[in-house]
């Protein structure tokens, strides 16, 4: 175990600049997989997909092929940016009362998580196939080699993985397959223990040879349906037809201006780009550079903009294939300016209500629940292609169900449990075939000349949006490096008021923010981000210092 810890410590050092390419992820084994693919002549798309597969093996508590994700891709030759939506979907049979008890009350969140009811149709393999077809260079099969080797030969348990096992293994009396993989004598595998997953290795070989059809049809599809519908807890209504019908969707990137920069991210069903752009837009009239990162006023302004933006998120965002989302109105500069004018430099707002953006239909606000998990990874190649992706199985170890060695997601708990409020349907209610609202926020920043200069994404439930917004402010306004920007302490919020990240410099803001009228608490937030910045010497990757993640040059 000592050797493992020394190796992980060494790999968390900042990466050197490279004009040839770089990779970064939340796990050193996945980062190495991406680096190897670049060195074998692969593109950023190839490297990112190899990291997705490796993370399926070594970071099962956070992501994998049993879940879904969002990809932003910048083409270094054309300069165009595209996005692919690989978000999970609800089974066709799903109804709005999926997470409502017979008495009409919503189920407690963790009661809804474990078991088949929470499993959405996984999207990551279709996303992989579309990404590889558009921008890949190496054979599909080549992307699987690092992950197969890890699953077959074994890998060591990291601190984050041990924490995930410890947090969820109390549920595993009803889930013998996952208990067999990640516990010994009913105790969580310790840091440094070796995990082998021969079933996953065997299946990945089939997927490598058979392509995405080997996931969405045939034996694997039957295994997914069997695991979800045969669950002892809350069996699912997912069918083989649901899996066969799944399609990843190319979508237009959502972009907006912040000072001289263009910020691009994911549109619905992600709430990432709209909410990040609102936060930044409301802050634009303030001199954040002059205020600096240690200013209570700066963090007061950030906290105000954050809460106003999240209020709009809770009211208007959902799957735009099912509900009307006033996308243009939410990021309209005039509307954002009107929201900014609600903010005072010397006094907190008493309440944070949603506004009425242009084009908005009457709607009722109803926030959904999310738990800290997920993962982000980035690959940049010598041609200048950028793949930046956030992937998830939702909560730690998803639904706790295993299919062919990989974890099945609990993504449907990202829907709002209450389908109606004040007599009106909620935008993010459950519907058959619908994709749940997400906070995942992969982001690319362009300078005034249109050159990509920064990319970032994060994990951690609803904090994802704020982690990304904070990193952008820290990098663009406070001129911090990518690593320092994502490592900067966070201010978030909950029903009690502002939450200052425990163990960081944000704790010193408690008294000053209280004087401005905020209710403030200090708490752990469970954050994890990855980023990359363009420098004169080339791209430099960064992994969150809170994590065991790494960044490596090609």
The edge-to-edge listing of strands for the beta sheet with 261-265 is 254-258, 261-265, 443-446, 452-459, 528-535, 538-543
What element of type H or E holds 94? none
- Rounded (10°) angle between helices 296-316 and 272-283: 140
Q: 177-180 contacts: CB < 8 A, separation 24 or more? A: 177/401, 177/402, 178/397, 178/400, 178/401, 178/402, 178/407
* Distance from C-alpha of 378 to C-alpha of 30, rounded to nearest angstrom: 11
Query: Given the structure tokens 């900042």, which residue do they identify?
Result: 14
| CA distances, 248 to each of 69, 296, 364 (Å) | 10, 43, 29
Catalytic, 56? Answer no
Contact criterion met (CB below 8 Å) for 94 and 149: no
* Distance from C-alpha of 460 to C-alpha of 479, rounded to nearest angstrom: 24
* Distance from C-alpha of 330 to C-alpha of 22, rounded to nearest angstrom: 34
3-class state of residue 369 by DSSP: coil
3-class state of residue 480 by DSSP: coil
Query: Given the structure tokens 């609803």, which residue do they identify?
Result: 462
Token pair listed for 179: 């208990």
* Distance from C-alpha of 170 to C-alpha of 167, rounded to nearest angstrom: 7
Helices and strands of the chain, counted as H and E runs:
20, 24
| CA distances, 440 to each of 62, 383, 437, 463 (Å) | 13, 26, 9, 9
* Distance from C-alpha of 497 to C-alpha of 248, rounded to nearest angstrom: 38
* Distance from C-alpha of 395 to C-alpha of 168, rounded to nearest angstrom: 10
| CA distances, 180 to each of 151, 168, 177, 199, 312 (Å) | 15, 14, 5, 12, 44
What is the model's pLDDT at position 11?
43
What is the model's pLDDT at position 370?
64
What is the model's pLDDT at position 421?
85
What is the model's pLDDT at position 210?
98
Query: pLDDT tens, 437-485?
Result: 999 999 999 999 999 999 999 999 999 999 999 999 999 999 999 999 9
What is the model's pLDDT at position 369?
64
Token pair listed for 276: 């990040």
* Distance from C-alpha of 482 to C-alpha of 505, rounded to nearest angstrom: 18
Q: Which residues of the chain have pLDDT under 50?
A: 1-13
The active-site residue out of 374, 388, 416, 443 is 374
Query: pLDDT tens, 334-373?
Result: 999 999 999 999 999 989 999 999 999 888 776 666 666 7
| CA distances, 172 to each of 166, 199, 259, 349 (Å) | 11, 19, 50, 44
Q: Which distant-in-sequence residues (6+ apart) come within 8 Å of 193 by Cβ?
A: 156, 157, 184
- pLDDT, the chain, mean: 94
DSSP 221-242: HHHHHHHHHT-SSS-----HHH
Query: pLDDT tens, 385-435?
Result: 999 999 999 999 999 999 999 999 999 999 999 888 888 888 999 999 999
The residues that bridge with 541 in the sheet, in sequence order, are 532
* Distance from C-alpha of 274 to C-alpha of 327, rounded to nearest angstrom: 7
Per this entry, what is the length of the chain?
554
* Distance from C-alpha of 53 to C-alpha of 49, rounded to nearest angstrom: 6
- Rounded (10°) angle between helices 44-58 and 198-210: 150
* Distance from C-alpha of 427 to C-alpha of 363, rounded to nearest angstrom: 8
Give percent of the chain above pLDDT 70: 95
Contact criterion met (CB below 8 Å) for 483 and 454: no
What is the model's pLDDT at position 372?
67
């Amino acid at each position: 175990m000592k050797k493992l810890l020394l190796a992980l410590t060494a790999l968390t050092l900042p990466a050197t600049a490279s004009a040839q390419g770089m990779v970064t992820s939340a796990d050193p084994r996945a980062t190495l997989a991406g680096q190897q693919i670049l060195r074998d002549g692969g593109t950023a798309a190839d490297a990112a997909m190899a990291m997705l597969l490796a993370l399926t093996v070594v970071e099962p508590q956070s992501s994998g092929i049993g879940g879904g994700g969002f990809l932003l891709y910048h083409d270094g030759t054309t300069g165009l940016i595209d996005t692919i939506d690989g978000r999970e979907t609800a089974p066709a049979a799903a109804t709005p009362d999926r997470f409502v008890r017979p008495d009409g009350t919503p189920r407690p969140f963790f009661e809804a998580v474990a078991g088949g009811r929470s499993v959405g149709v996984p999207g990551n393999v279709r996303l992989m196939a579309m990404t590889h077809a558009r921008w890949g260079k190496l054979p599909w099969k080549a992307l699987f080699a690092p992950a197969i080797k890890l699953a077959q030969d074994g890998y060591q348990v990291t601190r984050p993985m041990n924490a995930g096992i410890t947090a969820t293994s109390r549920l595993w009396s009803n889930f013998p397959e996952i208990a067999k993989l990640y516990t010994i004598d009913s105790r969580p595998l310790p840091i440094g223990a070796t995990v082998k997953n021969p079933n996953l290795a065997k299946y990945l070989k089939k997927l490598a040879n058979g392509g995405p059809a080997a996931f969405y049809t045939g034996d694997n599809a039957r295994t997914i349906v069997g695991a979800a519908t045969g669950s002892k807890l809350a069996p699912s209504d997912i069918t083989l037809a649901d899996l066969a019908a799944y399609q990843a969707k190319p979508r237009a990137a959502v972009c907006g201006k912040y000072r001289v920069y263009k910020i691009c991210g994911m549109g619905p069903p992600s709430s990432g780009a709209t909410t990040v752009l609102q936060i930044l837009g409301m802050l634009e009239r303030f001199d954040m550079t002059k205020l600096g990162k240690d200013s209570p006023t700066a963090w007061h302004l950030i906290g105000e903009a954050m809460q106003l933006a999240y209020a709009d998120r809770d009211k208007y965002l959902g799957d735009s294939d099912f509900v009307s989302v006033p996308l243009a109105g939410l990021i309209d500069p005039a509307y954002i300016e009107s929201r900014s004018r609600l903010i005072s430099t010397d006094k907190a707002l008493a309440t944070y209500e949603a506004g009425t953006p242009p084009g908005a239909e009457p709607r009722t606000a109803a926030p959904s629940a999310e738990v800290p998990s997920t993962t982000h990874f980035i690959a940049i190649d010598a041609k200048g292609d950028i793949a930046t992706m956030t992937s998830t199985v939702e909560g730690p170890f998803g639904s706790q169900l295993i299919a062919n060695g990989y974890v099945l997601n609990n993504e449907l708990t990202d829907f709002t449990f209450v389908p109606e409020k004040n007599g009106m349907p909620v935008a993010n209610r459950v519907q058959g075939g619908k994709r749940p609202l997400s906070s995942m926020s992969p982001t690319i920043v362009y300078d005034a000349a249109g050159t990509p200069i920064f990319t970032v994404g994060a994990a951690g439930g609803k904090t994802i949006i704020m982690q990304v917004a904070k990193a952008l402010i820290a990098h663009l306004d406070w001129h911090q490096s990518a690593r320092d920007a994502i490592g900067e302490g966070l201010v978030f919020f909950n029903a009690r008021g502002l939450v200052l990240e425990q163990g960081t410099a944000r704790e010193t803001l408690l008294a000053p923010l209280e004087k401005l009228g905020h209710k403030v608490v200090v708490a752990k937030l469970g954050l994890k981000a990855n980023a990359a910045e363009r420098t004169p010497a080339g791209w430099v990757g960064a992994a969150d210092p809170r994590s065991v993640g790494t960044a490596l040059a090609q």
